[in-house]
Chains A and B, each alone.
Chain A
Amino acid sequence: MSGLFQNIGFLQQGPFSIPRWEALFSHLDVLGQGALVTLLVASLGLALALALGTVIGVMSTSHWKILRGIARVYVEFFQNTPLLIQVFMLYNALPMLYPQVMIPVIVIGIMGVGMYHGAYIGEVVRAGIQSIGRGQLEAALAQGFSYVGAMRYIIIPQAMRIVLPPLTNQAVNLIKNTSVIAIIAGGDLMYAGDSFAGRYGHYGPTYIVVGLGYFLMCFPLAVLTRRLEDRTKGV
């Protein structure tokens, strides 16, 4: 009997004790604000990554060797060096280039994940364009489609099926990678969790809630990726 009461001691003390949970739930708004920052950085970062990725992808299928070369160097550099260094370089280099402007850490985060995932999305877009045979475009043009019409009705609908699953997968990775701005005090979910946990030592419950936050943002997209993959395979 006494053994039973000893075993529930972890509820009173230890890394996951009830007082720690209570403290966390009374400060839950801090994590909520962090989650909003993460969503903001992720959505704007994704927009930048899509724009850059489309440009890089189109460049790497270009006839001009120089454009292909630039795209190649961009992709290889960003895919083979850590995101953290890229963020640190932006963090140190941007104030050097624009000393009079105060650049918010959030902007550095958006640029960092945007440029990093732009390289990955560039490769996805390139694969998508190359998967559609050149004959398709030629056939469409021969049938009297304009270039834009051929793209709109013939090429893009087919390329989308191939491109969408890896794109949503990149979106998941992008959301997770926004967490690196915590290291430069970016105010995102990871930073909010880490600084709250560090101040009071409530690491256990805080990291569980932070993990759930990221899971809730990423899991729906991961499920969508799987659905899109199955649809592509079904064709």
Chain B
Amino acid sequence: MDALLNSPVLEMLKDPILYKGLWLGLVLTLEIAGLSIVLSFMFGTILGSMRYSALPVISHIATVYIEFIRNLPTLLLILVSYFVLGLPAMWAATIGLTIYTSAIIAEIIRGGLNSVPPGQWEAARSQGMSFIQSMRYVVLPPAVVKMIPAIVSQFVTVIKDSSFAMAIGAYELMFKGTILAAKYWRPSQIITIYLIISLVYFLINFAISMVARRLQTKLSIGRGSIGN
């Protein structure tokens, strides 16, 4: 019992520095991820509509961007933002994640819009609805239901991938944990720290996934096909 109470792991768990460090890391992780999500949603919507556009030049620009960025590792984009664009670490991580996630969200939005049969659009317009009314009442509701699970699971990816920011020395949760792991050096302590961080990421991401599932069930009620 005595050995357990004096074990290095327990000793570490009693140290307030551990929790303070991890808390600061978590705050930066959420800042980077939150900003990237908001920015990616904005740019992703613009890119997605550009690709959906009838003007060939505009849709080509969006296509080239999406196809190129989608096939690059997020880590590379973060490194480029830091070393080539010369941004400070936190912004380099945010911009790197945004460059990548915008391309993914653009594809999700295009897929959602494409999933609504063109007949629905034509029917809405022929009933005298304006462009905005057709979008608002006919095309967007089923499209958004299709997009939401994919967009939210992309948010989970952003939170996970924000851990790549440790490669450029941004003090987010993963990097803070690694610094603390070096401070406590014993393998059992290191594993405990990584387990704690995993749990933190897990709780956040699992909660988001649950909200996504709930939201999807709620939104799809009354939006099924006829006779469903």
Contact = CB atoms under 8 A, between A and B. Distances in A.
Nearest to A96: B187
Contact of A81 (B76, B160, B167, B190): B160
Contacts of A180: 75, 164
Interface in B122-149: none
B161 A204 contact: no
A91 to B, nearest CB: 10
Nearest to A207: B80
Interface string B194-222: 11011001100110010000000000000
Q: Which 6 A-B residue pairs are closest in the complex by CB-CB distance?
A: A218-B71, A80-B205, A179-B73, A203-B83, A82-B163, A82-B160
* Interface of B: prevailing SS: helix
B156 interface: yes
B191 A219 contact: no
Interface stretch (A44-52, A129-137, A160-168, A208-216): A208-216
A89 interface: yes
Contacts, number: 107
B74 A80 contact: no
B11 interface: no
Contacts of B72: 176, 211, 214-215, 218
Q: Which of A76, A88, A89, A218 is packed against the most chain B CB atoms within 10 Å? A: A88
* Interface of A: prevailing SS: helix
Given A77-B202, A182-B167, A222 B178 contact: no
Interface residues of B, number: 37
A215 B71 contact: yes
A190 B187 contact: no
A180 B71 CA distance: 15
14 contacts: A79-B209, A82-B160, A82-B174, A83-B160, A84-B174, A85-B174, A88-B194, A89-B194, A89-B198, A93-B191, A176-B74, A207-B76, A211-B80, A219-B71
Contact of A89 (B161, B163, B191): B191
Given A89-B195, A190-B75, 8 more contacts: A79-B205, A81-B202, A92-B181, A93-B191, A179-B73, A194-B79, A203-B80, A218-B72
Contact of A92 (B174, B194, B197): B194
A172 interface: yes
A176 B78 CA distance: 13
B68 interface: yes
Contacts of A219: 67, 71
Contacts of B164: 84, 180, 183
Nearest to A84: B163
A32 interface: no
Q: Which of B79, B163, B181, B202 is packed against the most chain A CB atoms within 10 Å? A: B79
Contacts of B167: 182-183
Contacts of A210: 76
Contacts of B181: 92
Contacts of A203: 79-80, 83-84
Contacts of A89: 191, 194-195, 198
Q: Which of A82, A83, A190, A219 is packed against the most chain B CB atoms within 10 Å? A: A82
A75 to B, nearest CB: 11
A92 B163 contact: no
Contact of A211 (B76, B163, B174, B201): B76
A127 B75 CA distance: 30
A182 B75 contact: yes
A61 interface: no
A77 B199 CA distance: 9
